[in-house]
Amino acid sequence: MTPWMRRLLALTRRRRLDRELGEELAAHVETRARQLAADKGLPIDEARRRARILLGNVTRLREESRDQWGFPRLESVVQDLRYGARQLRRTPIFTAAATFTLALTIGSTAALFAIVNAVVLRPLPYRDSERIMSITIESEGRNVGRMDAPTAALAIQAGTRSFDSVAAYESTGGNLTGGEQPERVSGALVSAAFLDVMGVTPALGRSFEADEITPGGPAVIVLSHALWLRTFGAPADLGERMVRIDDVSYRVIGVLPAGFRFPGRAEYWRPWVPRRLGPGAVYYTDFVGRLRPGVSPAAARDELYALRAAHEADLPARARRSSIVIVSLHESLRGALRNPLVLLFGTVGCVLLIACANIANLLLARAAERQREMAVRTALGADRGRLVRQLLMESALLAVTGAVPGLLLAEGSLRVFKAIGPANVSRLPGIEIDGAVLLFTLVVTFGAAALFGIAPAFAAGRVDPQGALKEAARMSPGRSHPKRLLVVLELAAAVVLTIGAALLAKSFLRYSAVDRGYDSTRVLLVSVPLPRPRYADPAARVDFSQRTLERLRALPAVASATHSGGLPSSIAMTVSVPARLTTSGKADEGETFAVTYVGPDFFKTFGIPLAAGAECPDTGDAPLAVVSGSLARLFFSDRSAVGETIEVAGEGPHTIVGVAANVRAMGSNALGWPLVYVCDGHRSPPVSGYVVIRVREGVDPTSMIPALRDAIHAVDPSLPLVNPRPLSAAVGEAITTRWFDAALIAAFAAVAIVLAVVGLYALVAYLVAQRTREIGVRMALGATRTDVVRLVLRQGSMVTALGVGLGMAAALPLVRYVRAMLFEVEPLDTGMFAAAAVVLAGTAIIATAVPAWRAMHVDPIIALRSE
Partner 1 sequence: MGKTSTVRQDLLPGTLDMLILKSLTRGVMHGYGIADHIRKLSEEVLHVEEGTLYPALQRLQIQGWIDSEWGHSVNNRRARYYRLTRAGRKQLGEAETNFGRLIQAIARVMKPAT
What is the contact surface with partner 1 in residues (CB under 8 A)?
1-3, 6-7, 10, 20-21, 23-25, 27-28, 30-32, 34, 54-57, 60-61, 64-65, 67-69
Amino acid identity at 504: L
Tell me which residue of 499, 365, 473 sits closest to 816, measured CA to CA. Answer: 499
In whole angstroms, give the CA distance from residue 202 to residue 329: 21
Nearest to 854 by CA among 779, 762, 754, 769: 769
Contact 680, 598 (CB under 8 A): yes
Residues 6+ apart with CB under 8 A from 299: 162
Please say which residue, 56 or 698, places its beta carbon nearer to partner 1: 56
Q: Please say which residue, 76 or 703, places its beta carbon nearer to partner 1.
A: 76
DSSP state of 57: -
Pick 69 or 766: Cβ nearer partner 1: 69
State the minimum distance, in angstroms, from the CB of residue 813 to partner 1: 58
User: Distance between CA 739 and CA 544 in Å, rounded?
Assistant: 40
Nearer to partner 1, 57 or 786 (CB): 57
Using alpha carbons, select from 109, 78, 115 the residue that is nearest to residue 443: 109
602 neighbors 635 (Cβ within 8 angstroms) = no
The string of DSSP codes covering 729-768 is: HHHHHHHHHHHHHHHHHHHHHHHHHHHHHHHHHHHHHHHH
CA separation for the pair 542, 549 (Å, rounded): 11
In the complex, least distance from residue 42 CB atom to partner 1, rounded to whole angstroms: 18
Closer to partner 1 at the Cβ: 24 or 515? 24
State the minimum distance, in angstroms, from the CB of residue 34 to partner 1: 8
Please report how close the Cβ of residue 52 comes to partner 1 at its closest, in angstroms: 11
Residue 132 — φ and ψ, nearest 5°?
-80, 120
Nearer to partner 1 (CB atom), residue 38 or residue 485: 38
CB of 65 to partner 1, least distance (A): 5
Question: Residue 642: beta bridge partners?
Answer: none
What gap in Å lies between CA 624 and CA 438, rounded to an integer? 63
At closest approach, how far in Å is the CB of 51 from partner 1? 10
3-state secondary structure of 544: helix
Smallest distance from the beta carbon of 43 to partner 1, in angstroms? 18
Residue 35 or 866: the one with the smaller Cβ distance to partner 1 is 35
Q: Which is nearer to partner 1, 13 or 785 (CB)?
A: 13
Nearest to 321 by CA among 309, 332, 330: 309
Q: Say how far apart CA 356 and CA 824 lie, in whole Å.
A: 36
Beta carbon nearer to partner 1, 2 or 786: 2
Closest approach of Cβ 78 to partner 1, in Å?
Answer: 20
Of 482, 359, 360, give the one whose Cα is nearest residue 799. Answer: 482
Q: Please, what is the minimum distance in Å from the beta carbon of residue 63 to partner 1?
A: 9
For residue 341, how many C-alpha atoms fall within 13 Å in the half-sphere facing its CB? 21
Q: 3 or 294, CB closer to partner 1?
A: 3
User: At closest approach, how far in Å is the CB of 48 from partner 1?
Assistant: 14
Residue pair 426/418 in contact (Cβ under 8 Å)? The answer is: yes
- Residue closer to partner 1 by CB (options 65, 584) is 65
- Return the number of the residue (20 or 434) whose C-beta is nearest partner 1: 20
Cβ contact 663:669 at 8 Å: no
For partner 1, the closer of residues 31 and 214 by Cβ is: 31
Half-sphere exposure for 340 (CA within 13 Å, toward CB): 21
Min separation Cβ 47 and partner 1, Å: 14
Ramachandran bin of 457, using left for φ above 0, alpha for ψ from -120 to 50, beta for the remaining angles: alpha
CB of 62 to partner 1, least distance (A): 8
Distances (CA, A) of 573 to 353, 592, 672, 746: 44, 11, 10, 34
Taking the complex as a whole, the smallest distance from the CB of residue 377 to partner 1 amounts, in Å, to 24
Burial track 205-236 (b if 16+ CB lie within 10 A, e otherwise): bebbeeebbeeeeeebbbbbbbbbebbbeeee
